[in-house]
Structures are given as C-alpha cells and as structure tokens.
Structure 1
Amino acid sequence: MYTIEFQKRGLPYAHFLIILEEKYKIFTLEAYDQFVCAELPDPKRNPHLFELVSLHMIHGPCGPLNPTCPCMKKKVRNTRQFIKNGSHLLDNSWVVPYNSYLLCKFNCHINVEISSDIKIVKYIYKYICKGHDKIAFNLHTNNTNIEIDEIK
C-alpha cells in the first residue's frame, strides 16, 4: 500500500508499505545488509553510489550537533570514512538508510527501512491511511470597509 502527499514546496513525497510473504521475510543481519545500508560506500569501489549517497542521503543535524536526535540511539559502524559537506566532515551517523539499487535507479532521496515490530507496522498503516492534507481559505478584496472575521 502507498500514499503520495505533497510537501509545502509542492514536491511529491511517497510512503510505501510493502509486506513480504513469509518465505521472503528478512530475519538475519546479513539479509538486512543485502537490502538496506546506512553507510558511506567506498568511493574507489563504487564512485557513482558514493556520489548519490553524498548528494541525496545525508541528513542532520545529528551527532555532536544534536546528540538527542532519534538517529543517535542506534549504533552506527565507524568505518573512519568521511565526506566533506561545506565546512563539516560527515561520517556514517549522517547517512539515511537506503537501498543501493533504488537509489541508483531513481537518483533521489529514498529512505528505506525494514521493520518487523507490530507497533511500527500499526504506525505506518495509520500514517498511510490518514488521508490527504486539508485546507480551507477565503479570498477577500482590498476594500477596507469589509470586516474580516479571522476566527470564522
């Protein structure tokens, strides 16, 4: 199931919930690593993927700039690899989880998470099924004789 919403600047934002059949479910760390990565790729072995991760999959602020950020609760491998973003050196703690194939295919920010906790699944269902954003507005003339009821 999926939903597409539009951010304030009008950009589309898609949420997909994909439930795998039992025989395809992911149970081991090695299996997770085949589908999702949250590390900087080796720029020598895969320069194209390194460029895409650097361009689309870095977030923040977190790390020392914001140690209470939710992403800081997870353990992240220290590969001693950094990218330079402006005047900052960024490591794996700044990388949003991604799937290499999807990132290369669509060349855009695409956060990929795997969850097997029922609480997360319920949250995602609720989020996806919440419906479209709604807005109500009125147009008024510049005539200063018209009283505008802001509450209404």
Structure 2
Amino acid sequence: MKAMWIIQVIGGFAAGAIVSGALVAFAMNRPPQNDAATLNPARAAAAAPPLPMGQSWLDLLRNEAASGDDLSNRELATALIDRYDLSGDPDELYEAMVWVDRRWDLSGNAELSQRIVANYCGQRVVRWHWLCLLGE
C-alpha cells in the first residue's frame, strides 16, 4: 500500500513537471508584449501613434461608418472628397456620395452638403444626386 502511494506521488510530480515545462515552452515562444499596455490600456492607447492617412485609416472609418457611427460617416465622406480634390478620381467622389446617402439626416452636416452643392454638382457622378436637384 505504501508503494502505491509513493508511485502516485511520483506520478503527480511528473505530471506537474510536464505541464510546467509545456507552459514555460509556450511562454518562451510567445511574441513580446508591451507590459505597460497590459497594465494601463488607457495610457497605452493615448501613447499610440495615430493611424496614417493611408488606406488603413480609410478602412477603419469605413468599418465605423458601416456600423452606424455618424461621426465616422462624416469624416469618411469628407476625407473621400478631399482625396477627390487631390487626385481627380471620380471613384472617390462616388464613394463619398454613397456614404452621404447612407446618412439620411444631414442636419448636423450642413457644411458638407453645402460644399457638395457649391463645388461638385457639375460632376457627372453627382449631377443627378438629390442634393444637387434640391440645390437648383
């Protein structure tokens, strides 16, 4: 009986050693983490650099606007119109108008609607848009 108890104790220690070894192996192969970010996520978010004005920034705005965020919708439409001003690519203007259409209430965005009516109603992409028809 005493021999059985010793075998169980040794087996328990062996199993514990194997599990501990596996955990250490996994911990050694994990990617490095910023411990400050895990301890204080608010400070880490404030210290993170802003996203570049590249495609990833627009994709972030697209995702937020698609989820119903009015501020992101406004920012996305404005950014796309700004990109149209720089590049002249009508796809940018078209996408901006799609996002404007997704936001039915333009009362909080009078500046953007005035900009569209004043500057872009002559463009093929916007010529028959309801904002331009109302602006006539």
TM-score (norm 1): 0.24
TM-score (norm 2): 0.26
Between Structure 1 and Structure 2, the one with more helix by share is: 2
Higher Cα Rg: structure 1 or 2? 2
For CA contacts below 8 A with separation 6 or more, give which structure has more relative contact order. Answer: 1
